[in-house]
Amino acid sequence: MNLKIIAFLFITLLGAPYIEEVQAQKESVCVKCHSQLGGKFAEPVKLWNESIHKEMGNNCDGCHGGDTTDPARAMIKESGFLGKPKITEIPNFCGKCHVGVKENYLKSAHGIIAAKTGAPNCTTCHNSHDVKKASLELINEKNCTRCHTYEKPQKIKQALSGSETEIARLAAQIKNAKGSSIDTRRLEEKLFAARNAIHQATHVLSVEKINAIKATTGKELAEVDASLKEINKEIAKRKRIAIGVMIFCFAAAGVILLYRKTFLKPESWFKV
């Protein structure tokens, strides 16, 4: 039997139950117990299952603390359990991981007013459990006119949208270059840093400050763009060489065929 087939059978017959067991062990006691509770205590599990946090491994304890392995110790103070945050605690609750965002937010009109009233806080815009990947789509009339007019939000969105389009364009080109097996790590890192700075700028809520951040990231983006132009030239050159090699091979094959037909046919040996 083929070695690959043996390995495959070994993994499916013996490995699968083992893998399942490991995955079951990995499911936290928080998720297990809360799924069974029903109502508002089970709702967080359902919502979190659809979130970017679940996808990226930020589990219940990342936000709430506690012991995910032992039901008896799960929700006690000694395990670092924080419980449900008060509304004014939310910026620090989320900000222990999203440090840069928190700093910008706390200095903004939103952060200053929320220190007293509790809103708008992180969950006003991102929710608590079904947190999704963030984009400028979040700035829309429905979300932003609950407390004031759309005039200022729209200006913020306009200030940011040019960079957002440019970042998306460069990201697509990097992906393309990667497909042609070119090392794009350095460019990816640069783009990622610029993207972060721009995204974090959203929480500043000031068009002037956004423009100042854009002045720096604009330079970085232009450098990425220039490198990509060089890479694209290189890809085009490689394509031309590949086509050249292909044409050469076809021509060579044609010559060999002709050679065999003319000189190597057995009957041609005896013809006078």
CB of 158 to ligand HEC, least distance (A): 11
- Quick check: 184 binds ligand HEC (CB under 6 A)? no
- Quick check: 160 binds ligand HEC (CB under 6 A)? yes
In the 3-class helix/strand/coil scheme, how is 54-106 assigned residue by residue? HHHCCCHHHHHCCCCCCCCCCCCHHHCCCCCCCHHHHHHHHHCCCHHHHHHHH
CB nearer to ligand HEC: give 125 or 182. 125
Region 26-55 residues binding ligand HEC, contact defined as CB under 6 A: 28-31, 33-34, 37, 40-41, 44-45, 48, 52-53
CB of 245 to ligand HEC, least distance (A): 43
Backbone angles phi, psi at 249, to 5 degrees: -60, -45
CB of 227 to ligand HEC, least distance (A): 22
**Among residues 26, 77, 148, 175, the one that binds ligand HEC under rule CB under 6 A:** 148
25, two tokens: 């062990």
CB of 22 to ligand HEC, least distance (A): 19
CB of 256 to ligand HEC, least distance (A): 57
Binding mask 198-237 for ligand HEC (x = CB under 6 A): xxx-xx-xx-------------------------------
- Quick check: 247 binds ligand HEC (CB under 6 A)? no
What is the Cα–Cα distance from 130 to 265, expressed in whole angstroms? 75
Binding mask 105-124 for ligand HEC (x = CB under 6 A): x---xx--x-----xx-xxx
List, in order, residues 6 or more apart from 210 with CB less than 8 Å away: 156, 159, 160, 201, 202, 204
- Quick check: 138 binds ligand HEC (CB under 6 A)? yes
Tokens 């393309």 locate to 176
- Quick check: 80 binds ligand HEC (CB under 6 A)? no
- Quick check: 152 binds ligand HEC (CB under 6 A)? yes
What is the Cα–Cα distance from 149 to 131, expressed in whole angstroms? 25
- Quick check: 166 binds ligand HEC (CB under 6 A)? no
| Most distant CA pair in the chain, distance | 109
- In 3D space, the residue among 56, 79, 54, 48 whose CA is nearest the CA of residue 66 turns out to be 79
Tokens 């004014």 locate to 88
Does the N-terminal peptide bond of residue 120 adopt cis geometry, omega within 30 degrees of 0? yes
